[in-house]
Amino acid sequence: MDALATTVPTNVLDDFCAALLSRYKENWPPAETSLAKDFAERFAPELFPNTEQMIQFASRLGISVSFKPLPDDLHGCNCSCDGQTIVFLSEQPVFTGSHEHTLFHEIREVMEYCFCDQGWPTLKPSELEKRADLFATSVRMARLTKEIGRYIENAQSIEQTWKRWLIFAGVVIMGLGIGLSYAMLPHFEKNPRVSK
């Protein structure tokens, strides 16, 4: 499947990186979780995006997404040329949520190129893969936390106490399960044969 989205200039992400720079310049580099939280707040990704929603999300950031067969140990990669940025994702996701995690991972790498271009890298090149994974997990966590907060807020209006607590418990258990799957995904991706 080749789902190359319309290519648009990458200035949205450049502008976002410039805003982060001015916000955190006094205390550079910011924590990865802070970058992820700001990213999730600014761009509000879907909680469980389908392929089309992921392509549209990336497109809003000026990034095209293309699904290609990639080597087994490569889940995605990115390249920028003539002001256009493309993220390639493996045609077959290793696990549910792999495409989404990899997309955020690649976006974090593109962000790092922006920071470097402006003379303010946030990490050593050897740390990039690990930090991009942490960013991807943290973006998904930030969005999940926000959604859980919304459910709990809505549940507060339920009059029957037992029903209210049942929904609280259900939401917390579901949130913990999903959060754990987000946190474990990079590990499973690196050890697919062990985990299958």
Q: What residues line the site for Zn ion (CB under 5 A)? A: 129
- CA-based nearest residue to 88, from 118, 67, 115, 110: 67
Q: For residues 23 and 130, which CB has a smaller minimum distance to Zn ion in the complex? A: 130
* Closest-approach residue to Zn ion (CB): 129
Task: Please state the closest distance from residue 109 (CB atom) to Zn ion, in A.
Answer: 5
Q: For residues 15 and 129, which CB has a smaller minimum distance to Zn ion in the complex? A: 129
72: amino acid identity, one letter: D
Give the H or E element holding residue 78: strand 76-81
Task: Please state the closest distance from residue 78 (CB atom) to Zn ion, in A.
Answer: 8
Q: For residues 138 and 148, which CB has a smaller minimum distance to Zn ion in the complex? A: 138
Q: For residues 137 and 171, which CB has a smaller minimum distance to Zn ion in the complex? A: 137
Q: For residues 131 and 143, which CB has a smaller minimum distance to Zn ion in the complex? A: 131
Q: Retrieve residue 120's tokens.
A: 């303010």
Task: Please state the closest distance from residue 10 (CB atom) to Zn ion, in A.
Answer: 18
What residues have CB less than 8 Å from 91, skipping those under 6 apart?
Answer: 1, 67, 68, 69, 70
Q: Hey, which residues does 78 pair with through a beta bridge?
A: 87
Instruction: Report phi then psi at 46, rounded to 5.
Output: -65, 155
Task: Please state the closest distance from residue 135 (CB atom) to Zn ion, in A.
Answer: 10
Q: For residues 41 and 129, which CB has a smaller minimum distance to Zn ion in the complex? A: 129
Task: Please state the closest distance from residue 102 (CB atom) to Zn ion, in A.
Answer: 8
Decide: helix, strand or coil at residue 63.
strand
Task: Please state the closest distance from residue 75 (CB atom) to Zn ion, in A.
Answer: 8
For the chain, the helix, strand and coil percentages under 3-state DSSP, each to the nearest 5: 65, 10, 25
CA atoms within 13 A on the CB side of 75: 24
- CA-based nearest residue to 67, from 136, 161, 3: 3
